[in-house]
Amino acid sequence: MSFSKIKFDKKIVLSFWIILIALIIAAPTLLPVFRLNLLGRYLSLSIVALGVDLIWGYTGLLSLGQGIFFALGGYCAAMYLQITSSSEFPNNIPEFFALYGVEKLPFFWEPFRSPIFTFFAIWIIPALIAGLIGFLVFRNRIKGVYFSILTQASLLVFFNFFNGQQKLINGTNGLKTDVTQLFGQMVGSESMQRIFFWITAILVISAWFFAKWVVKGRFGNILIGIRDDEPRVRFTGYNPVIFKTIIFSIAGGLAGISGALYTVQSGIVSPQFMTVPFSIEMVIWVAVGGRGTLLGAILGAVFINYAKSLVSEALPASWMFIQGGLFILVVTALPEGVLGWIKGDGPRNLLQRFGLKRKIETYPSLEVNNKEGNNE
């Protein structure tokens, strides 16, 4: 790694930090509540994007089923909120049960009376399920596209299950959270939304540090090894199954946290979170931002979603075209994403093309070797 490279990276990171902290401090006062709420939602989505970056960018596992864990986290939070604010309804159970003539709370709702259980359930349940699915798949050395297809199929399994079970979890309608109470306050109220924004901002930063810690050192090296040449990792004596399962469940846990934060800020959790397009969208955030960069995942999630809401407000029909175009563009022209492009030789090549910067006169092979060295 050359000296200038390190400085460049640090500059990016430092400027990112300044922008981020300025944004977080300024946002609640500058933005109207509607926009603040949107920003908070997008920040919470960036946590699930971090998870996608960990499994796809670092380990090379393209999961199309992150929506499962996202929605599970959301459901955990929503179940707690529904059950704590159901005291005025008949039988002390959430209101929607009365619609389907259910009188007794289904057994799996019971533990969610406890806030402590919920606090842990939000990330442990998705992580456990991710670990289970991951272990079953990885154990058989199912990988690459087969893994993607299987995760997508699991997504459909969960979607159909949650969508069809009116009597257990209100099916298609989902669970509303904005009219529920948390610590005596209305969840949908302005002051609560501000608090949620702060919590989200802090959690995004801590998730980022956590992800950075995960990919640092030997563990991260093995992940990258699995991405680049799994058989070689296996022949060296490591068991890729364990590492893949661990990282997949970490990503699942992150998705769960993200889902819970998104749910309380959007006011509802529904099986729509488990639709196929939403899970693939998560991948495109990371792909556009730059896979294997962590920062790119956060920026990608926030900016693409912000662009989505702006474009959809102005020209509702055109967002699908733009999104489709983004997928194609990022795969064919920008395989390393925007951040990868900036970090790599992208800007220099662009300047060279316009004759603004002199070509560096070195041996081409030196450049190539240098580039390879940076990846390790």
Number of amino acids touching another protein (CB under 8 A): 42
Residues in a beta bridge with 301: none
H helix count then E strand count, the chain: 17, 4
Residue number, 27 or 288, with CB nearest to another protein: 288
Position 87 contacts another protein (CB under 8 A): no
Position 142 contacts another protein (CB under 8 A): yes
Q: Rounded to an integer, what distance in angstroms lies between the CA atom of residue 122 and that of residue 74?
A: 7
Site track 300-319 with another protein (rule: CB under 8 A), x = hit: -----------------x--
Q: Rounded to an integer, what distance in angstroms lies between the CA atom of residue 137 and that of residue 263?
A: 29
Residue number, 159 or 197, with CB nearest to another protein: 159
Q: Are 185 and 191 in contact (CB under 8 A)?
A: yes
**Among 328, 355, 359, 372, which residue sits at the site for another protein (rule: CB under 8 A)?**
328
Position 145 contacts another protein (CB under 8 A): yes
Phi, psi of 310 (to 5 degrees): -65, -45
**C-alpha angle 69/263/136, rounded to 5°?**
5
Position 140 contacts another protein (CB under 8 A): yes
Residue number, 207 or 281, with CB nearest to another protein: 281
**Among 90, 106, 115, 231, which residue sits at the site for another protein (rule: CB under 8 A)?**
231
Residue number, 7 or 232, with CB nearest to another protein: 232
The residue with tokens 């948390």 is 182
Q: Rounded to an integer, what distance in angstroms lies between the CA atom of residue 312 and that of residue 281?
A: 15
Position 98 contacts another protein (CB under 8 A): no
**C-alpha angle 85/91/92, rounded to 5°?**
20
**Among 12, 16, 95, 152, which residue sits at the site for another protein (rule: CB under 8 A)?**
152
**Among 59, 82, 154, 245, which residue sits at the site for another protein (rule: CB under 8 A)?**
154
Residue number, 176 or 291, with CB nearest to another protein: 291
Rounded to 10 degrees, what is the CA torsion of 218, 224, 226, 228? -140
Q: Rounded to an integer, what distance in angstroms lies between the CA atom of residue 33 and that of residue 31?
A: 6
User: What single string gives the DSSP state of each residue in 274-300?
Assistant: GSHHHHHHHHHHHHHH-TT-SHHHHHH
Phi, psi of 142 (to 5 degrees): -80, 125
Phi, psi of 216 (to 5 degrees): -80, 155
Helices (H), 31-144: 33-52, 66-84, 96-99, 115-139
Site track 271-300 with another protein (rule: CB under 8 A), x = hit: -----xx--x--xx--x-------------
Rounded to 10 degrees, what is the CA torsion of 68, 226, 148, 126? -10
Q: Are 220 and 238 in contact (CB under 8 A)?
A: no
**Among 90, 106, 115, 335, which residue sits at the site for another protein (rule: CB under 8 A)?**
335
Residue number, 124 or 326, with CB nearest to another protein: 326
Residue number, 144 or 373, with CB nearest to another protein: 144
Residue number, 130 or 257, with CB nearest to another protein: 130
Q: Minimum CB separation from another protein for residue 319, in Å?
A: 8
**Among 298, 330, 338, 339, which residue sits at the site for another protein (rule: CB under 8 A)?**
330
**Among 1, 30, 98, 149, which residue sits at the site for another protein (rule: CB under 8 A)?**
149
Phi, psi of 190 (to 5 degrees): -65, -45
Q: Minimum CB separation from another protein for residue 144, in Å?
A: 6
Residue number, 98 or 331, with CB nearest to another protein: 331
Position 19 contacts another protein (CB under 8 A): no
| Count of all residues that appear for the chain in the document | 376
Q: Minimum CB separation from another protein for residue 323, in Å?
A: 6
Q: Which residues bind another protein (CB under 8 A)?
A: 62, 136, 139-142, 144-146, 148-150, 152-154, 156-157, 160-161, 163-164, 230-231, 276-277, 280, 283-284, 287, 317, 320-321, 323-328, 330-332, 335
